[in-house]
Amino acid sequence: MIDNKFLITKLEEEHALTEEEFVTLLTEITEEDQEYLRVRAQTIARKCFGNKIYTRGLIEFTNYCKNDCYYCGIRRSNSEVIRYRLTDEEILNCCKTGYDLGFRTFVLQGGEDGSYSDEDITRLIKRIKSLYPDCAITLSIGEKSYESYRMYYEAGADRYLLRHETANEKHYSKLHPEKMSLQNRKRCLKDLKEIGFQVGAGFMVGSPYQTIEHIAADLLFLKAITPQMIGIGPFIPHHQTPFADQKQGKLELTLTLISILRLMFTSALIPATTALGTIDPKGRELGILAGANVLMPNLSPTTVRKQYELYDNKICTGDEAAECRFCLDRKMKNIGYELCVDRGDYKLMC
């Protein structure tokens, strides 16, 4: 009989397990263990952050992408997507709406759209920073050179989200075309960290061909690079991709992993993602109760939301930014938390 409580206690005390121990914990976990783990993770999140949830306003500013990730609805080969790019003015309007609603971080996310030069991106960062000097800017625009990242940082960008997707080479090659490499993804994360960004990594839970061993390797990879932000969410198939018929990731496993991550990285910024809210109407609340401490509602204009469909049935595509904000306010109040007006930078909290 394997004592998972022992492993959970060890994880809480040492913030790490061996690969073998992670595999054991994830394979043998019972409902009772899951509940124990969840309570431990929630207790730590409460101790570190109180009942405060950080929010980030997500602006999906382009759905053009030169990449062809097999899982992603906006991949280059999906000729049925109606492509869009927001103008600088439209992006600044999103920021204004967001600022008035209490957001103090803007996340500029998009496909890898080659039509933006580094100068375009730096100009945009500078314009946002001059209008909202008290706000943080997070970029999530994929793999770039060291030099490009450095230009963005010097222009005022504070954070960068780049999920590693999977730490296993073979698995990576099953999710991406040959042209993309895990090595380059890792190089990007290393560069971003070296330059001084607060960095976010992460992976999809239940992506096609993923095994428990892969997840254990993901956890160890995260431990090695110690990102300030960690984004995980269930894989959800998109009907116009090669993975249309694959199974979606599981809610329970995603929640268990959020709790494990909280025990490993007590002060990290961990979102309850939109994908989690998509597979279960209470997904984001459950994510917070499992130890997450960030929400990233959408600030993109409703006219384009449907076109940034990475996976089927993505939620909130018809709602105005204000509706989303108030809806999340209510949802959080219902479970005893509140959204705070704060940049929500990474700090060593506990």
Q: Which residues bind ligand SAM (CB under 6 A)?
A: 71-72, 109, 111-112, 140-142, 162-163, 165, 204, 233, 235-236, 238, 275, 310-311
Find the shortest distance in angstroms from Cβ 165 to ligand SAM. Answer: 6
Nearer of residues 162 and 292 to ligand SAM, judged by Cβ: 162
Among 57, 111, 271, 287, binds ligand FES (CB under 6 A): 111
- With CB under 5 to 8 Å by kind, the binding choice for 140 among ligand FES, ligand SAM, none is ligand SAM
Strand order in the sheet with 294-295: 294-295, 52-55, 338-340
The dihedral built from the CA positions of residue 332, 138, 202 and 110, taken in this order, carries a sign that is positive
How far apart are the C-alpha atoms of 102 and 342, rounded to whole Å? Answer: 8
How far apart are the C-alpha atoms of 197 and 129, rounded to whole Å? Answer: 16
List 233's β-bridge partners, or say none.
204
Determine the interface stretch with ligand FES among 22-30, 68-76, 163-171, 227-235 (rule: CB under 6 A).
68-76
Nearer of residues 24 and 246 to ligand SAM, judged by Cβ: 246
Helices (H), strands (E): how many in the chain?
14, 9
Find the shortest distance in angstroms from Cβ 69 to ligand FES. Answer: 4
56 binds ligand FES (CB under 6 A): no
65 binds ligand FES (CB under 6 A): yes
Find the shortest distance in angstroms from Cβ 202 to ligand SAM. Answer: 7
Q: Which residue has the tokens 């917070």?
A: 288
Give whole-number Cα distances, 144 to 60, 111, 162, 239, in Å: 18, 12, 11, 29
Nearer of residues 179 and 330 to ligand FES, judged by Cβ: 179
Find the shortest distance in angstroms from Cβ 142 to ligand SAM. Answer: 4
Contacts of 151 (CB under 8 A, 6+ apart): 118, 121, 122
- With CB under 5 to 8 Å by kind, the binding choice for 62 among ligand FES, ligand SAM, none is none
Among 72, 216, 275, 299, binds ligand FES (CB under 6 A): 72
How far apart are the C-alpha atoms of 323 and 97, rounded to whole Å? Answer: 12
Contacts of 254 (CB under 8 A, 6+ apart): 205, 206, 232, 233, 234, 276, 287
- With CB under 5 to 8 Å by kind, the binding choice for 75 among ligand FES, ligand SAM, none is ligand FES
How far apart are the C-alpha atoms of 242 and 260, rounded to whole Å? Answer: 31
In terms of DSSP bridges, do strands 338-340 and 294-295 run parallel, antiparallel, or are they unpaired?
A: unpaired
Nearer of residues 314 and 325 to ligand FES, judged by Cβ: 314
150 binds ligand FES (CB under 6 A): no
For residue 308, give the 3-state DSSP assignment. coil
75 binds ligand FES (CB under 6 A): yes
Nearer of residues 75 and 159 to ligand FES, judged by Cβ: 75
Find the shortest distance in angstroms from Cβ 111 to ligand SAM. Answer: 5
Find the shortest distance in angstroms from Cβ 111 to ligand FES. Answer: 4
Category of 223 on φ-ψ map: left (φ > 0), alpha (ψ -120 to 50) or beta? alpha
Find the shortest distance in angstroms from Cβ 112 to ligand FES. Answer: 6
In the complex, the residues that contact ligand FES under the rule CB under 6 A are 65, 67-69, 72, 74-75, 111-112
